[in-house]
Structure 1
Amino acid sequence: MIVGKKWAGPALALTLAMTGCGGGGRPAAAETFELTETTPAATGDVASVTWALPAGEPASLDPARTGDYSANTVGTNLCESLLRLNTDYSTSPGLASEVTQRDATTVVITVRDGVRFWDGAALTAEDVVYSLRRNLDPRLASYSAHVFANVASIDKTGPLEVTVRFRTPDMQFIPDLAGVPGAIVEERFATRAAARFGTASGGLMCTGPFRLDGWQSGRKITLKRNDAYWDAGRRAKAATFQFVFLTDSSTLTSALLSGEVDGVYGAPAGSIAALRKTGAGRLYFGPSTETVSLGAVAADGPAADPRIRQALDLAIDKGSFVTSVLKGAGEPLKTFTPPLAWSGSPAKSVYDAGYAALPDTAKADLGAARQLVTDAAPSRRDLVVALPAGDQSLLQTATIAQAAAQRIGLTMTIRQLQPAEFSGLFYDPGLRDGIDFIATTGYLEVPGALYYAPGFVLKGATFNWTHYDNPEVTRNITAAVSATDPAASARAFVAAQAIYGPAKLQITLAESYNRLFLNKRITGAPASFSYISSAWAALVGQA
């Protein structure tokens, strides 16, 4: 979603010594961050938990309309997917007891027997077919429609069997079933609710460890434990889970410190110091797929020239960026697909080697950057970077890019847009007129190196805003998507990445560690970014 290591044990202590903003100042004091995939397991049940949603109130909890932090944080505890996403970004069976790649263009899903919706109705193959087919309906405009782009048919082929056939092989499809593309809803309830399904007035009907109990628009969403949940080992430990909408960082921090709110994912970066010192709870840092980038959105002009993108990349000191914007809780990243995406793959070593071979531009090189600008001889040297109004971290990001541009002979104007207008940039070319770059965050909500790349590098793809077109990249990405052998797919992906990575279609600045705060009375929540596609709240209970 457009918003490198395997951990040998449950936690890894990292000591990061960062320099000042210019890249040449006196080193800042070393910060030590312990990355952990999980928090200590809960020892018992709790009556209630209050959780903050810093991104605000979800527009919908319908899985087909779930595509952001708030909706995923709540909705994945309600509507389960066919596969489960584990804390290391590997997958395991969920509502499907098995998913099999029968051949290059056929996937067979075995629906788990004995699962019931909250209303007591049994989960059927028909429900699975209905839920998956919804993503093919252009009238619904599902956020997951791109996942089904190569799907030819979805049919019930047995009492508890569903078969998906493809026009062309798609090896990313099965991992995608661990996220909202694989979420299952009850057909009968959804068809009756129609357009209201997933809203405060229409409700939901799913199988998860919690059920939707109430939704007070502008205030809170309340979940109640599903005492008849099919997986006894993952029965929710909290009787009630209440989500409140707190978008102001200062208000949120005060609520965490006072105990008014028990927990949050995405704790404010600016409050890291205060949250690490408080006795009210603990701030955890986990491995993540979240990235901060400058995305080139122009099909012509300076941003469409890879030399200008490379120059801007070389002009920004990534270590200083991590220190100033992420407060040290992150690390420079070489490309837009972070290593956690493939950490659960059997071909992990191939991906790791390919990532290691990419050029390392973490340190600024102003001399090389200025030479690239000279070589490019752009028709204009004024650039515009857009970001959503009110996002202080992205404003800092844009300000750093602005200063870097000035150091290499370019100028950059910062344009703040209302959130809805900014979101429209991603899909409406007309809204991108007059804009060269966007400052943005993004994340992968499912595992797989192929989740991001095709959308950025293939001709005509949704996020290929610069009209990038390299035949060798296209050939290798196509081969990676089509390969049934994980190692062969990884080798093809790495070959493509070696070409498009240095082109800096996205100037990826850093990976941001997941920031989880828990009040001292609760524990159990996953600390890795896997929460974004898992029923994480069921694990939260008494500390």
Structure 2
Amino acid sequence: MRTKQRTTPSRITAIIAAAVVAGLVLAGCGARPASVTEAGGGPKFALSDSTPAPAKDIDNFTWAMYAEPFSLDYAYAFDYPDNTVLSNVCESLFRWNADLSTSPGLATGVENPDPLTWVYTIRQGVKFHDGSEMTADDVVASLSRHLNPAVGSFWASSYQNVESIEKTGEYQVTVTTTRPDYVFNASLVGAPGVVESAKTLEAAGKDYGNSSTGVNCTGPFSFDAWEPGESITLKRFDEYWDPDLKAKSRQVTFTMLPDATSRINAFQTGEIDGGFAIPSNAMDILKANKDAGSVYFGKDTSVQSMVFTNLGGTFKDVKVRKALMMAINREALIKAAEQGYASKTDALTTRNVWKDASHETTDEAFNGLLATPYDVAEAKKLVKEAGAEGSKFVFATASLNAAFDITARAIASAAKEIGLDPEIQTMSNDKYTTLFSDPEARKNVDLLVTSWYLSSTEPLEMYSVLRTGDFSNYGGWSNPEFDDLVNSAYGVQDPDARGKLTGQAARIASEDVVWGPLYETVTTMWLGKRITGADPSINYMYFPWAAKIGGL
């Protein structure tokens, strides 16, 4: 569902629930905006590149999960829980490092002899968890699944321009595209580049990646057991090919703890050793409890946004979409929902993913975006001009956590204040997840909220999903000029020139308020006193982060 679910312990829930009402009302009367500084003026948090190196190997550690993975099939691994586990078991052709750079993975290199050809040299001596050796045949079989309509890969759009995937040597694979595509290669750090045993894929069939079958990949951990609703256990793979990333723990257990109170209490008592996506409203409590462990902050690519999933109803007119954005006091929302552990943005990407573009190009892209300052009077005027006063819409939400609840209430309250009539449709966590993969589930929904992360340092990845007919273009928005810019950018080799085209496309999507960006977040991680070694970076989605964890 692409939603980083942030929950909060019960002992502070009541405080925050009250604070959101007071905070948003006071902010409307001229209260100071939220900031990322402490009361004394110092920084609220600082980003860390890493954590202390471990001193020893350990037998096991436990990791909290706020939800159960949808699947361990890389073709359907489209959310935080799925990839948090899968990144330690299955590997891609390239690695995504903690600083969001790329380095060789299961491919030792790539050549681009002409605009339509990518030639990958496959690493030799790599073994799958069943002991068989990886070859070019396995790479071809794994990548080709994204082209197979019968599979229905959630990552098929990454392969939109791929014409063929062929073995051109014992350890060489050649991908041919129908048109120049300089974004394709960047996607291979994630799920689109995962390699699985061809024999396993054939033998498992439709059961591949489920709780009974698991996966058979090349990572530092192998699949051991999946107890639905309870836990997933991985065990160290002693024949792993990379000695620098040999797992320092014999076993890791991912425990499903969707209840906020249980999860945070488990951190503080030592029952659970660590976890990502720490509830922001519990952050100060955990930071203060230094005897139990430490909270770390790192690079992220996530933006919390409203997604207009029906552009044929209340939100048909861009004036209404813009009005709703202007009716939300985002600074007060960040303070109430995220306790200041976030920052306001008008963009659908963070600057982190513009890594390969120049500062000038990045500044131009961000400065050209539509600004929607908090202005209720102007928002009411826009709604009236659009003839949308009293218009109803269905706002889908779930009781994922306190921050999510606060955001949902703030949006609904803002909509009512400017004359709209929201109908809140609260769903179970699992049902909410399906909104992002099943068009039928979204059939009667007009609005939802997501924390959308990018899986590479390529901003075009975000804007490509807003093209006409794309899998993740949930509202069915269509703009030929936008489509042309994005499609043209795919064929531009120079990242800075590609960034300029992406910036132009971003402005169009921003002016049309296709999605409504609220704020951007940072990656958060808790490590108990028993373990250390993991990097606090969004790269954990596609890098074998658990292999680095050992004992103090």
2:118 corresponds, among 94, 107, 113, to 107
How far apart are the structure 2 equivalents of 1:120 and 1:530?
Answer: 27
> Could you say which residue in structure 2 is the equivalent of 1:529?
538
2:189 corresponds, among 178, 184, 191, to 178
> Could you say which residue in structure 2 is the equivalent of 1:289?
301
Alignment check: 8 A CA contact 2:257 2:263 kept: yes
- Deviation of 1:86 (Å): 1.1
Matches within 5 A, 1:427-438: 427-438=437-448
- Deviation of 1:140 (Å): 1.8
How far apart are the structure 1 equivalents of 2:34 and 2:164?
Answer: 57
> Could you say which residue in structure 1 is the equivalent of 2:257?
246
Give the AA of the match of 1:323.
K
- Deviation of 1:519 (Å): 0.5
Q: Are 1:21 and 2:30 counterparts?
A: no
Please give the secondary structure, in 1, of the residue aligned with 2:312: coil
Alignment check: 8 A CA contact 1:302 1:379 kept: no
Alignment check: 8 A CA contact 2:260 2:401 kept: no
> Could you say which residue in structure 2 is the equivalent of 1:408?
418
Structure 1 residues 424 and 156, CA gap change in structure 2 (3 angstroms): same
Structure 1 residues 104 and 407, CA gap change in structure 2 (3 angstroms): same
> Could you say which residue in structure 2 is the equivalent of 1:61?
72
Q: Any idea what the Cα deviations from partners look like across 1:328-362, whole Å, max 9, x if unmatched?
A: 1111121222222222x25464234311332443x
How far apart are the structure 1 equivalents of 2:145 and 2:530?
Answer: 41
How far apart are the structure 2 equivalents of 1:307 and 1:101?
Answer: 45
Q: Percent identity?
A: 36
Give the AA of the match of 2:285.
A
1:519 corresponds, among 506, 528, 531, to 528
1:277 corresponds, among 279, 288, 304, to 288
Q: Any idea what the Cα deviations from partners look like across 1:18-57, whole Å, max 9, x if unmatched?
A: 99324222566843111223222223322211111112x2
> Could you say which residue in structure 1 is the equivalent of 2:498?
489
> Could you say which residue in structure 1 is the equivalent of 2:41?
none
2:241 corresponds, among 215, 230, 244, to 230
- Deviation of 1:466 (Å): 4.0
Give the AA of the match of 1:314.
M
Aligned residues: 525
Structure 1 residues 379 and 402, CA gap change in structure 2 (3 angstroms): closer
Q: Any idea what the Cα deviations from partners look like across 1:152-186, whole Å, max 9, x if unmatched?
A: 10000112110111122222211110001111111
Give the AA of the match of 1:491.
K
Structure 1 residues 77 and 454, CA gap change in structure 2 (3 angstroms): same
1:207 corresponds, among 209, 218, 234, to 218
How far apart are the structure 2 equivalents of 1:427 and 1:251?
Answer: 29
Please give the secondary structure, in 1, of the residue aligned with 2:24: coil
How far apart are the structure 1 equivalents of 2:49 and 2:141?
Answer: 34
Structure 1 residues 326 and 304, CA gap change in structure 2 (3 angstroms): same
How far apart are the structure 1 equivalents of 2:438 and 2:548?
Answer: 40
Computed over aligned residues only, the root mean square deviation of the Cα atoms, in angstroms, reads: 2.2
Alignment check: 8 A CA contact 1:20 1:26 kept: no
Q: Are 1:372 and 2:382 counterparts?
A: yes
Alignment check: 8 A CA contact 1:53 1:246 kept: yes
Structure 1 residues 468 and 204, CA gap change in structure 2 (3 angstroms): closer
- Deviation of 1:446 (Å): 2.6
> Could you say which residue in structure 1 is the equivalent of 2:405?
395
Please give the secondary structure, in 1, of the residue aligned with 2:465: helix
Give the AA of the match of 2:351.
P
Structure 1 residues 48 and 428, CA gap change in structure 2 (3 angstroms): closer
Matches within 5 A, 1:71-150: 71-150=82-161
How far apart are the structure 2 equivalents of 1:43 and 1:428?
Answer: 46
- Deviation of 1:429 (Å): 4.6
- Deviation of 1:427 (Å): 5.0
Structure 1 residues 487 and 325, CA gap change in structure 2 (3 angstroms): same
> Could you say which residue in structure 2 is the equivalent of 1:307?
319
1:476 corresponds, among 468, 482, 485, to 485
1:449 corresponds, among 459, 470, 485, to 459
Give the AA of the match of 1:332.
K
Structure 1 residues 381 and 177, CA gap change in structure 2 (3 angstroms): same
Alignment check: 8 A CA contact 2:34 2:331 kept: no
How far apart are the structure 1 equivalents of 2:472 and 2:493?
Answer: 26
- Deviation of 1:304 (Å): 2.0
How far apart are the structure 2 equivalents of 1:200 and 1:474?
Answer: 39
How far apart are the structure 1 equivalents of 2:443 and 2:210?
Answer: 34
Q: Are 1:191 and 2:197 counterparts?
A: no
Q: Any idea what the Cα deviations from partners look like across 1:395-435, whole Å, max 9, x if unmatched?
A: 22121012212332323221112344434434555544443
How far apart are the structure 1 equivalents of 2:33 and 2:214?
Answer: 53
> Could you say which residue in structure 2 is the equivalent of 1:12?
none
Q: Are 1:334 and 2:352 counterparts?
A: no
How far apart are the structure 1 equivalents of 2:219 and 2:475?
Answer: 41
How far apart are the structure 2 equivalents of 1:526 and 1:304?
Answer: 43
Q: Any idea what the Cα deviations from partners look like across 1:415-473, whole Å, max 9, x if unmatched?
A: 112344434434555544443211222212233111121211x2222333444333322
Alignment check: 8 A CA contact 2:2 2:79 kept: no
How far apart are the structure 2 equivalents of 1:316 and 1:28?
Answer: 14
Q: Any idea what the Cα deviations from partners look like across 1:97-148, whole Å, max 9, x if unmatched?
A: 0123332221111101221222332210111001101122222222222211
Structure 1 gaps, min length 5:
4-17
Alignment check: 8 A CA contact 1:21 1:317 kept: yes
Give the AA of the match of 1:266.
A
How far apart are the structure 1 equivalents of 2:299 and 2:503?
Answer: 22
> Could you say which residue in structure 2 is the equivalent of 1:9?
none
How far apart are the structure 2 equivalents of 1:159 and 1:353?
Answer: 46
Give the AA of the match of 1:422.
Y
Alignment check: 8 A CA contact 1:383 1:412 kept: yes
How far apart are the structure 2 equivalents of 1:379 and 1:274?
Answer: 43
Structure 2 gaps, min length 5:
4-19, 39-43
